[in-house]
A = this chain, B = another copy of it.
Amino acid sequence: MEKILIVEDEALIREELYTLLTGAGYLAVCVTDFENTLSLIRAEDPDLILLDISLPGQSGYSLCAGIRAYSDVPVLFLTGRTAAMDELEALTLGGDDYITKPFHVPILLARMNRLLKRSAGAKKPESLSYRGITLNPVAGTLAVKGREADLTRTELKILYVLFSHPGEIVPRADLTEYLWDNDIHIDDNTLSVNVMRIREKLRALGIEDLIQTKRGMGYKI
């Protein structure tokens, strides 16, 4: 779920946005303290920022510049219907788009969507490695010194979690939750079976004992 940070001082609009976004399936977070806004934004690390131009204290513009100093997170400016120069400035400051208040809901969503989609394409972890074994999530493969094995969806998911926490014990419950979203009637054994299938493929690649069983606790690579 994408996290949207709302930076807007007018409480009414802020709450309206919050309700709207939450309803639309986003995780919305509001900024209410306009003193340390920047560090707050940084801490929240949102996927998109709705940024009002006119804020108490620091202006939206300078805030955006501060954000751009460390991140490329898309910024959608909220601006009153004012002089054209505003718009221009917003465009050139690295803000990715803007929308004028009062805004039309479908348009707001369409723009957010566009920005999110664009930025989603820009970031992706290429591959994860552990001890010469490389998991390539985009290709859906596991490679080790030239040899390669195709993975199915579930196998990929499991390995992805394990490779994301190398050396750590990942509880079976965590894996099950990640794979099947707490689907209550999923057999716990299913996980064992899937892990076994992965181990088979690993063996075919000449890899032994990559996935360790930590009895009563979980799996670990």
Contacts and interface: CB of A to CB of B under 8 A. Distances in A.
A184 interface: no
A220 B138 CA distance: 10
Contacts of A216: 152-153
A42 interface: no
A17 B111 CA distance: 27
Count the copies: 2
Given A104-B84, A152-B216, A217-B153, A139 B169 contact: yes
A139 B153 contact: no
A213 to B, nearest CB: 11
B104 A88 contact: yes
Nearest to A109: B88
A220 B140 contact: yes
A139 B167 contact: yes
Nearest to A92: B110
Contacts of A214: 140, 150
6 contacts: A84-B107, A88-B104, A91-B107, A138-B167, A140-B169, A152-B216
Shortest beta-carbon contacts, A-B, top 10: A84-B104, A138-B168, A153-B216, A91-B110, A139-B167, A140-B169, A88-B107, A88-B106, A87-B107, A84-B107
Interface of A: 84, 87-88, 91-92, 104, 106-107, 110-111, 114, 138-140, 150, 152-153, 165, 167-169, 212, 214-217, 220
